[in-house]
Amino acid sequence: MQSKVSMEKVKTINSKPGNLEFDKLQIGLTAGSHFVTDIYQSFYVGLIPILTYKFGLSLFMVSLLSATSVISNSLFAPVFGYMADKRGLKYFIVAGPLVTSIFLSVLGVIPYYWAIILFLFFGNLGIAAFHPASAAMAGLYGGSKKGLGTAIINFGGNFGVAFGSLLVILILKKIGVSYTPLTMIPGIAVAFILLRYVPLKQNADLSIKNLHFFTRLKKANPKKLYLIANLIFTVYSLFIVWVSLNTFMPLYFTEARITLINIGVILFLFGAFGGTGGFLSGHLYDRFKKGYFLLQGGLIISIPLIFLIFQTKGIAAIIFFIFGGFFLLSLLPVCIRMSQDLLPGNLGFASSLILGFSSGLAGVTMIFLGKAADIIGIAMLVRLELLLLFISFFILFGYPLVEKRLAKQ
């Protein structure tokens, strides 16, 4: 009798429209709100040359800006992801653009370095709440195209991050830094739209599985834990390189006498190309399900491209930077989908392991890498970080072997 009830519950969950069909409205709303939310996330990146001059920042102090941002929006993400799985995604989807826009739109007018750190921390808590819930929306409303749904939502975020640094630079150059607080208006407007159109309890049935998640994780098959740890390390490596490039390249290009507007365009192309690559990787994952192969391919191509940034000058260095970002950032949707396939009953928490815990560890590491950059320089630091990508590439050879053994049990 109990078995029959359980089967009926599974049928009920699987019969929901969001699990059978690709819901364009919810995927589109989530992607659009991800774009707006992540615009604010990269404001400080566009401001790095200005803040460095204004406060006389060292590379360590610059890296502390990135570390604060990443730690706040990443290490707290698993907590919000777990809560979203239990309480429903809507509250966290709405909180993202609302909190983020209010705190991060004022970074340009804050007069003290310590206050910027404080506002970065609280503003990025909104992103920590938003990211796991938005990634889970692809699992709930992607239907048979969950990889594509993840890629679309991820592209919205990457495009937002790319556009945010350019936007704040355009505001600085065209109308002045004192007008940056006006940019909170779109974030507040999007929050009200989401409050109106996102369903309240779309994740209620799945929350039954999450009540004892941590207990089940302790008892999980060691092979599954190995696969999760493999993905965490891979994304950690990706984020170390990505955050370093995003943090230090504005200063590197400034020293190369590239104008602030052109630096904004370069950063925009870096993020936008990476988000576009996510469409391709998401489609390929839906079709072939060989996530580990896609990850290895992206890693082995991105490593030499990023290495050549510092071996060349001028337009060649810029091209290598942009295309390195294309192959590096395009791997994130694949990592998210692989984690969700491993933990299908915990979509928000699975997403937060990738978007949160892994990148949060990278943020903590950035504190130390900033000090290292002061000693050995930006170019040498990034070259050494590429060793992490090499390690990830070789570790992934074990992924399909363990995956096959797990499937036989």
Is there a domain that residue 13 lies in? no
3-class secondary-structure state, position 58: coil
According to DSSP, residue 311 is labeled T
The CATH number assigned to the domain holding 44 equals: 1.20.1250.20
In order of 238, 320, 397, the CA distances from 151 in angstroms are 17, 23, 24
As a whole number of angstroms, the distance between CA 87 and CA 51 comes to: 39
**Residue range(s) defining the domain that contains residue 363:** 20-408
- The predicted pLDDT at position 20 comes to 54
In order of 25, 38, 205, 373, 384, the CA distances from 321 in angstroms are 34, 21, 44, 18, 16
Phi and psi, residue 394, nearest 5°: -75, -35
As a whole number of angstroms, the distance between CA 55 and CA 107 comes to: 13
Is there a domain that residue 150 lies in? yes
Cite the DSSP H helix spans in 56-145. 59-75, 77-87, 90-104, 113-141
Q: What are the residues whose beta carbons fall under 8 Å from the beta carbon of 94, sequence distance 6 or more? A: 191, 194, 195, 198
Widest distance between CA atoms in the chain: 74
Residue 385 near residue 263, CB atoms below 8 Å = no
Residue 72 near residue 125, CB atoms below 8 Å = yes
Q: In the block, which residue shows the tokens 């390189």?
A: 241
- The predicted pLDDT at position 218 comes to 55
As a whole number of angstroms, the distance between CA 241 and CA 228 comes to: 20
Phi and psi, residue 285, nearest 5°: -65, -40
As a whole number of angstroms, the distance between CA 227 and CA 366 comes to: 25
Please name which of 393, 390, 295 lies closest in space to residue 337, comparing C-alpha atoms. 295
Is there a domain that residue 106 lies in? yes
pTM, full prediction: 0.78
Is there a domain that residue 1 lies in? no
As a whole number of angstroms, the distance between CA 249 and CA 239 comes to: 15
Is there a domain that residue 6 lies in? no
Q: What are the residues whose beta carbons fall under 8 Å from the beta carbon of 275, sequence distance 6 or more? A: 154, 155, 156, 157, 158, 159, 162, 329
As a whole number of angstroms, the distance between CA 391 and CA 60 comes to: 26
According to DSSP, residue 45 is labeled H
Please name which of 72, 51, 55 lies closest in space to residue 180, comparing C-alpha atoms. 51
- The predicted pLDDT at position 199 comes to 80
How many CA atoms does the CB half-sphere of 234 hold within 13 Å?
35
Q: In the block, which residue shows the tokens 């400080």?
A: 44
**How many Cβ atoms sit within 10 Å of the Cβ of residue 149?**
29
Is there a domain that residue 386 lies in? yes
Is there a domain that residue 12 lies in? no
Is there a domain that residue 321 lies in? yes
Please name which of 82, 115, 96 lies closest in space to residue 37, comparing C-alpha atoms. 96
In order of 43, 102, 241, the CA distances from 247 in angstroms are 12, 23, 10
- How confident is the prediction along the chain (409 residues), in pLDDT tens digits per residue? 444 444 444 343 333 444 457 778 888 889 999 999 999 998 999 899 889 988 999 999 999 999 999 899 888 877 887 787 777 788 899 999 999 999 999 998 999 999 999 999 999 999 988 987 887 787 778 776 776 777 788 778 878 988 998 999 999 888 888 899 999 999 999 999 998 888 865 544 444 344 444 555 555 567 778 888 888 899 999 999 998 998 999 999 998 889 989 999 998 998 888 777 877 787 788 777 788 889 999 999 999 999 999 999 889 999 999 999 889 888 887 887 788 787 776 666 666 667 677 888 888 899 899 999 999 999 999 999 999 999 999 999 988 888 787 777 6
In one letter, which amino acid is 5? V
C-alpha torsion sign, points 241, 260, 118, 114:
positive
Please name which of 240, 62, 268, 77 lies closest in space to residue 161, comparing C-alpha atoms. 268
Report the domain count for the chain: 1
**How many Cβ atoms sit within 10 Å of the Cβ of residue 229?**
12
- The predicted pLDDT at position 82 comes to 74
